[in-house]
Amino acid sequence: MTGDAETIDSIIPGALPCRPNIETVAHLQVCDRVEPERGTIQAMRFETPLAEHWSALTEPLPLAGGTAMRPAADGGFPTLEAVTAAAPWAAALVADISRGLRLQLALGRPWVQFEPILLVGPPGVGKSWLARRLAEALRLPSAVLELGNASDDRQLSGTARGYSNAQPAWPVMTIAATRCPNPLLIVDEVDKAGGSAQHGRPHHALLSMLEPGSARRWSDPCLLAACDLSAVNWIACANTTDPLPKALLSRFRIVEPATPEPSHFNAALTSVLGDLADRWDLPANIDLTPSSRTIRLLRQQFARHRSVRLLARHATAVVGAMLADGAIITWQ
């Protein structure tokens, strides 16, 4: 990894890094070269030569998240504190990640990196929603892979070059698309993944990407190149750990976020409405707040089910109807 000569001067008061200077940006080259196609028939399968199409992987790419790692005077990270405000039930997890960022700064590493996290909890408590929130707060590009219906490992580990639909592994494609070697990859419903010995098991492929030694030189079957996935950040989501192999579990820090409390309703609704405004690309002067009667009904449902997913579903229906009926206030 290489870095720029400038230094970050915003360090926690009283806490000196192990290195005298902390670079503002560090870079990582994911692979040395992409093996070119051999033979006319093989080359014709690709509109653009592989080495050219995936050339970003052979360049030094900036490791992301440094802008989220400037602590306030009290040692906290404002962007992560916003996550705690939006999801108070996840305060312990956010505190752990904040501690990891302080360690990165102490080691002179100006990029976001934390050990793989497995969020375990019942459906609807907002596991994948929380993971996406963390990606936004940490200024990391992110991607989500649903493994609930996976019958083999191709979605995760890619397909070999000999096939007409050959493609690199999902982490490699995400790195190339975002030009970021440390994105936050969210693996949803990891406990429901299938697979077989013949067609490949997603759990086995994921294990090889999480194990530090193999991740540093992960062999991509399409690029025929060793790719460095060691900087990738991972959050997986599961309803239970029972179906997961012990070897895979050993690679995760297992976190069971607290179930949202009825008192968290206001924070959850504010976050859900903000997500709706972003998803629908609404202007800032649009007020999506439902009527007091509707809020009371939503609050009752939230207290009964304590489900962020259900709250989002109900709020989407209500706000959608308000927009369709012209019952939305626009502030001048």
Please give the C-alpha separations between residue 305 and each of 66, 90, 291, in angstroms, as whole numbers.
38, 17, 21
pLDDT number for residue 11: 45
Task: Name the DSSP letter for residue 111.
Answer: S
Q: Which residues contact 116 (CB under 8 A, 6 or more apart)?
A: 210, 233, 234, 235, 236, 251, 252, 253
Whole-prediction pTM: 0.83
> 56 Cβ partners below 8 Å, 6+ apart?
175, 176, 179
Nearest 5 degrees, angle CA 37-CA 38-CA 41? Answer: 90
Whole-number Å distance between alpha carbons of 311 and 250: 33
The answer to whether the beta carbons of residues 134 and 126 sit under 8 Å apart is no
- The H or E element containing residue 316 is helix 308-324
Do residues 311 and 302 touch, judged by C-beta distance below 8 A? yes
Tell me if 29 sits within 8 A of 60, measured CB to CB. Answer: yes
73-95 residue pLDDT tens: 887 899 999 999 999 999 999 99
**Dihedral over Cα of 52, 58, 60, 62: its sign:** positive
SS3 79: helix
The whole-angstrom separation of Cα 203 and Cα 247 is: 10
Q: What is the pLDDT of residue 196?
A: 52
Residues in the chain with pLDDT < 50? 4-16, 20, 40-42, 44, 46, 332
Contact 86, 267 (CB under 8 A): yes
pLDDT at res. 25: 80
pLDDT at 34: 86
Asked whether 182 and 232 are in contact (CB, 8 A), the reply is yes
- What are the distances in angstroms from CA 276 to CA 177, 183, 317? 25, 24, 11
pLDDT at residue 5 in the model: 37
Burial of 204 (0-12, 13-18, 19+ CB in 10 A): middle
Model pLDDT, residue 330: 54
Classify residue 24 by its DSSP letter: S
- The per-residue pLDDT for 249 is 97
